[in-house]
Structure 1
C-alpha cells in the first residue's frame, strides 16, 4: 500500500508537461490537489482549537478582548453596502433588501455583527442561505464551534457538517447555490480554518487574566501579600493543636477579605509575622498588565488609545487613532466580506453583480472627505465630470 501511494504521489508531482502544440485539458485543477486529497482522506477535519475556551477566557472574562471584538464588530456592521452592476450603481436590489433583513429574527446590523464577531473570536464565520426556487430568501450566521469541514476528493471542502444536540446536518457544496459561505482569517498552518487574533495574543491574554486573578486574590486576603506566622516560644515547645486551630480560625474570620484590610494583627505568645511574597511594586505587576493589554490590542489592530490604556502616545489625538482604526482594522475586513458575499450570492441574481462598502457613510472619515473635496474643488484644470470622477462619483446626468 505504501509503495502504491508513493508511486501515485510521484506521478502527481512529477507529471510530464504537455507536449508542444497539444490541446490544453478541458478542466483546470491544482497540481497539489491529489496530495491534499490523500492527506485529508475525505473525512471531516476537526478544528485544532477550543472555540469555547477562547470565548470564555477571552471575550467573556477579559475586558480588553471584549472591547476589541465589540469595537470591530459594531463598527464593521455599521458600514452600508452598495450594489453595482458593472460600473452602474443599483439603487434598489433584492440582495440589498436581503442584507437589510436577513431573517425574521435579526436586522442587518445585528446579523453582520454576529458574523464579524465570530471572525474575531474564532477566526472563522459561517453563513447559511435558505433559497426558494434558486433565489436567496434568508441568511443565518452559524456558530463556528459546531461546524466541521468535509474535504472532497480534490482536498477542498465539498460539504460542511453542523452538529447540535446530538444531531448533524450536512450541507453539500455541489449545488448551484452553495448553502454555506465560509469566511476565515489568514492562517499559514491550516488548510481549512482561519486564525483568530486571540490565538496570536494568547500569552498576553493569559498574563492579563492571571494579573486580574492575582489582584482579586490579593483583595480577598486582606489586600496584602501572604506571609508566615513564626512561633518563637521557649525552645523545644510548639503550639498545641487547639492553639493552632484557634489561631487559624481567627485569621480567617478577622483578617481575611477586603472588609478587613488594614486591621492590625495582635501577636502574643512568641508569635512573629514574616512576609514571604514580593510586593506588587517589586514585581512590576501593574506595568506587566498594561503591556499585556497593549499587546492584545495590537493583535486585534485596535489603537490602545481607543481603549483608554495608559502609557500609549503613538497617536497625537483620539481622532487620529480612530481614523487609523477604521483604515487598518475595519475597512479591509468589510471589503473582503462584501466581495465574498457578492461572489457567493451574486450569480443567483445576475452576472457581474458586486457589493462595495459605502465609505462615504462612515462618519469617522468625514474629515478626509472634506479635505479631498477642497483639493478637487480648487483644481481649476479639471472640468465638472473629472472632479466627480476624482471623488468617486459618475458623470453628471445631462
Structure 2
C-alpha cells in the first residue's frame, strides 16, 4: 500500500489552488459602482448625458395657448443654478443620482415657497434625512448631515425627486438596487479574471508527491515554482519537477465556467434594469443600422421621455406652481430630439389626413400636440374634395346650396334690428313631385349642418378663451393688493351685461347665416329657386330673435360655476395663483362645451328656417328622421319615420326636430331632421 504524502503545514494543499485566487479578491464588495463598474457607469451616463443635452424651456399662458418665456428669473436660475454648475450639469447630476440612489435633492436658496430661488445646489442623497410630522405623517422638513455637522431645512427649501419605492413611504428606489445581484456577479467575475492573469494565466492546481517533504524541501520547491511560473510574463513556461513531484490541475478555466456567456448575461441584466439598449452602450453585435435606429427611438420613448416627464412634474409641483405671478412651467424641448422626429413625421402625416377630413388646423395641432403656434383662421376646417373653407360663404358645387349667393351682411348690434323695408314678390314656386329618400335627405342636411356647426364651434371657443383670460386678469387686478377675505365671490366675477352684449354680437350673424343657408338648401332639395328664399320675410326671424334672448343663459351658467369655485377658494384663503388655477380648470371644459353649444345652436337655427321654407313651398306633411346611430335618443328612435301634418306637434312635443320651443331634453345635441313628405 503506497504511503500517503504528509505536509508539515495544512495550507500547503492550497498552493496555487482556486482558493488562493479567491484569497486575492478579498477586501470588500463593490462600494462605488458608478466608478468601479463599466456597465453601471455606461447605463447611468447614457441616460444622464442624453437628457442634459435637451434644452429645458419655460412657458406661460395656458396649456392650450402657451408662450415661450425667453428671459426671467426661472430661465436664469436653470441656466446658472449655482457658481459651480451650469443648468446642463445640474440636470446631469439629477439623473445620475436618480439612477444610483433612486432620488435626487435640490437645496433651494429662498425664504418662502412663492419666491424664485437665488440658487439651486444638489448633493448626494444619502446626506439627507427626512423629518416627519408625527401628527400628519407628512414630511415637514429635511436634515442635511456631513462630517457630523447637521443642517435643518424647511420643506420649501428642498426640491425632492424620487422613483417610487413600494418598500418605503418617503424615499426612492434605484434601478441599481434591482440589478445589484447581476452587478456583484459581474464585478467578482472581473476581479477573478484579473487575479487569474496576475498569477500565471492558468487555472489553479496542486503539486503532488508520494514522498514526505520537510519544511526546508517544501519551501525550496514553492520558491522555485513561484520564481519560474508565477505572473503573466511567465505563463506557459516549461516546468521541471523532481523527486516524483507531479502537477494536477484543480481549478476551472474560464471556458469551463462559460465565463464570457455569464458576463454577457450579467450585462444584459444590468441593461434591463436601467432600460438602456445595446446601441446606447456602443455594442453593435447582432445589430444593423435599422435595428440600432429602432433601439434609439425606443430608448427615448420608453426610457427617457418618462424621466423627462418626472422631472417636469416635480419642478411644477414643488417649484413653479407655488410661485407668485403668472403661471409658468418647464418643458424639455422634445423637438430637439432627432430620434423622435420620426414620430413627428408620422403625426404630421396623420394630422394632414385628419385636416383633409375637415378638422380645423388648430384643433389638429392641439389634439396631436404638434407644438405649432395657433394660426389666424386655423379654427376653420376645409372640405377634402376641393379644399373650400368650412363655413365659408361659398359652398362646394355639389353641395345642396351650391347656387346660394353670399348671405346678407352680418348685423353687429347686440340685438337684431328690424330688416330694412323691402318688397319681395317671389314667382310661383314649382316643387318637383318625386318621392323623397329620407336617408339621402338627412345626409344632405347633415353635410351642411356640419359645415355651419364647425363655424359656430370655432366662434364659441374663441369666446370662452377671451372670457377665461378676462376672468384671470380680473383676479390679478382685484387681489393684487388686497386680502382675499375682503372680497365676496360676486365682486370677482366678469361683468354679465358686457359679456351678454358680446355673446349676442357673436351669435346673431351666425343665426342669420345658418338660417339663410338652411332655408335655401331646402329650396334646392325640392327643386325650387333658392334665390327666392329670404329669411327676413319668414316666421323664422321671430324664432331666431327669441333664441338670441335665451343665448345669454350660456353666460349665466358660466358665471354661476365661477361663483361656486371662487367661493370655495375664498373659504380656504387660497392664493391668487390658486384662485386663477380654479378658473383655468373650469374653462378646461370649453372644448367639449363649445361642441355641445354649437351642435344645439346650429340645429335650432337651421330647423325653423327649414320649416319656414317648407311653408313657403306648400309642404303639408313632414317626417321625422334620425342619424341612425347608437347616439340617437330612444324617444327619437321611436319617432323615426313618423309622419305628421306640418304645424302639428310630434308625440314628444316638438313641431319638428330641434324645435327651439320644444322640451330641452328633446332638442339639446339633436341631429335629427324634418324631411318633407311629397305625396
Bucket of the pairwise TM-score, normalised by the shorter protein: 0.7 to 0.9
Larger Rg: 2
User: After alignment, is 103-112 or 312-321 more displaced?
Assistant: 312-321
Which residues in structure 2 correspond to 1:1-398 (within 5 Å)? Answer: 56-85=31-60, 86-87=62-63, 88-92=66-70, 93-131=72-110, 134-153=115-134, 154-173=136-155, 178-232=156-210, 237-309=211-283, 317-346=291-320, 347-350=322-325, 352-377=327-352, 380-381=356-357, 382-386=359-363, 388-389=365-366, 390=368, 391-396=370-375
1:14 alignment partner in structure 2? none
Report the TM-score when normalising by structure 1: 0.79
* RMSD, aligned CA: 2.4
Q: Secondary structure at the match of 1:320?
A: helix
2:208·2:245 contact (CA, 8 Å) conserved in 1?
yes
Structure 1 CA distance, aligned partners of 2:123 and 2:163? 16
Structure 1 CA distance, aligned partners of 2:132 and 2:276? 35
User: After alignment, is 255-264 or 154-163 more displaced?
Assistant: 255-264
1:149·1:160 contact (CA, 8 Å) conserved in 2?
yes
Structure 2 CA distance, aligned partners of 1:194 and 1:204? 21
Structure 2 CA distance, aligned partners of 1:272 and 1:199? 47
Q: Which is strand-richer, 1 or 2? A: 1
2:492 alignment partner in structure 1? none
1:339·1:354 contact (CA, 8 Å) conserved in 2?
no
**Alpha-carbon offset, residue 159 of structure 1:** 1.2
Provide, for residues 77-122 of structure 1, a one-character-per-residue CA deviation record: whole Å limited to 9, x for no partner: 2222232332222332421221111112111000111111111101
Stretches (4+) displaced over 4 A: 308-316
Greater relative CO (CA pairs within 8 A, separation 6+): 1
| Structure 1 unaligned spans of 5+ | 1-52
**Alpha-carbon offset, residue 220 of structure 1:** 0.9
1:48 alignment partner in structure 2? none
2:49·2:92 contact (CA, 8 Å) conserved in 1?
yes
Report the TM-score when normalising by structure 2: 0.47
Structure 1 CA distance, aligned partners of 2:48 and 2:346? 28
Cα separation, partners in 2 of 1:245 and 1:215, compared to 1, 3 Å: same
User: After alignment, is 79-88 or 182-191 more displaced?
Assistant: 79-88
Provide, for residues 282-306 of structure 1, a one-character-per-residue CA deviation record: whole Å limited to 9, x for no partner: 2112111110110000000101343
Q: Secondary structure at the match of 2:137?
A: coil
**Alpha-carbon offset, residue 151 of structure 1:** 0.7
The size of the alignment, in residue pairs, is 338
